[in-house]
């Protein structure tokens, strides 16, 4: 009987360890497996991709991050991705490691980029997995002194994998989009580390107990049509990749204003 009891204890411990690992793995966005893709670059050679007369995309990107693409900690580590990774805007903010496979001109290190834009045509069409990187991000894959030569190659075979986003010293912020009113409130999420993407957003009004669901509009922008809405607002976001949830209590004050950004005290990795 004692031996049987020991077997039961060992079994339960093993079950809890395995089960615990399964639950924990659901909250890991990092992918250990590299996958094949292709890559090009756009904008100016050392720019953030949204600059230059030959830029193909909307300045600041189809995610709506605007001038943040060239502000620390992003600093041009950005790129446009094909629709399979853009996911109609829900892939905005996700981070990937991209590494070139041409050993004659590429270093062994990968560049980490943040999805800020979508490339809808050309190499990005027909279900292809493609990265159109900023000139700065593309050049960082080269061996020392060969940045320019690498950019002259045009399209490159690369491998990529998902990786957690990291914004040292930054907490999640909510930008109130221009045009927002007490009846139409639109928010943009900034500096979300970890998964980086947003699968759903809710807000809660002052003194309320109900979380009101927001609607994904475009890029990384979400809105709610209801009114009159009364601040301060708490905001709850759920990531797309792993379903992690974070709630920022009364992060948007009662006297909020359009085009203002309100920073929380929280982030997923700290």
Rounded to an integer, what distance in angstroms lies between the CA atom of residue 182 and that of residue 185?
7
Predicted TM-score (pTM) of this structure: 0.82
Please name the residue ranges forming H helices in the chain. Answer: 2-25, 83-86, 135-139, 147-151
Degrees, nearest 5: CA angle 181-182-184: 55
Identify the structural domains of the chain with CATH numbers, from first to last.
Answer: 35-162 (2.40.40.10), 173-263 (2.60.40.760)
State the pLDDT confidence band at 24, using cuts at 50, 70 and 90.
very low
Q: Tokens 């094949």 sit at which residue?
A: 36
3-state DSSP assignment of residue 7: helix
Provide the mean pLDDT of the chain: 82
Q: State both tokens at 234.
A: 């708490």
CA-CA-CA-CA dihedral for 79, 85, 87, 91, to nearest 10:
-60
Residue 73 has pLDDT above 70, yes or no: no
3-state DSSP assignment of residue 225: strand
DSSP designation for 63 = T
Q: State both tokens at 221.
A: 């922008």
Task: Please count the other Cβ atoms lying within 10 Å of the Cβ belonging to residue 265.
Answer: 9
What is the full DSSP assignment across 187-199? EEEE---BT---S
Which tens digit of pLDDT belongs to each residue from 224-268?
999 899 999 999 999 999 999 999 999 999 999 999 999 999 999
Q: What is the pLDDT of residue 46?
A: 65
CA-CA-CA-CA dihedral for 60, 61, 62, 68, to nearest 10:
-60
């Amino acid at each position: 009987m004692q031996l049987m009891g020991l077997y039961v204890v060992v079994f339960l411990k093993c079950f809890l360890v395995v089960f615990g690992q399964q639950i924990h793995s659901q909250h890991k966005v990092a992918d250990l497996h590299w996958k094949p893709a292709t890559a090009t670059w756009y904008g100016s050679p050392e720019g953030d991709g949204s600059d230059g007369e030959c830029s193909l995309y909307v300045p600041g990107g189809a995610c709506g991050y605007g001038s943040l693409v060239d502000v620390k900690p992003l600093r041009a580590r950005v790129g446009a991705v094909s629709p399979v990774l853009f996911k109609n805007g829900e892939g905005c903010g996700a981070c990937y490691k991209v590494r070139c496979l041409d050993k004659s001109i590429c270093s062994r290190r990968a560049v980490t980029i943040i999805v800020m834009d979508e490339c809808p045509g050309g190499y990005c069409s027909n279900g292809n997995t493609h990265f159109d990187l900023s000139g700065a991000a593309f050049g960082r894959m080269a061996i020392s002194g060969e940045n320019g030569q690498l950019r002259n190659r045009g399209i490159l075979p690369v491998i990529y994998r998902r990786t957690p986003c990291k914004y040292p010293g930054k907490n999640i912020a909510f930008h109130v989009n221009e045009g927002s009113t007490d009846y139409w409130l639109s928010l943009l999420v900034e500096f979300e580390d970890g998964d980086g993407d947003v699968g759903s957003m809710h807000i809660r009004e002052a003194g309320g107990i109900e979380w009101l669901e927001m609607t994904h509009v475009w890029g990384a922008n979400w809105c709610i049509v209801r009114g009159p809405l009364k601040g301060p607002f708490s905001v709850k976001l759920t990531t797309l990749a792993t379903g992690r949830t974070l709630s920022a209590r009364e992060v948007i004050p009662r006297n909020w204003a359009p085009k203002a950004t309100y920073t929380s005290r929280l982030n997923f990795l700290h």
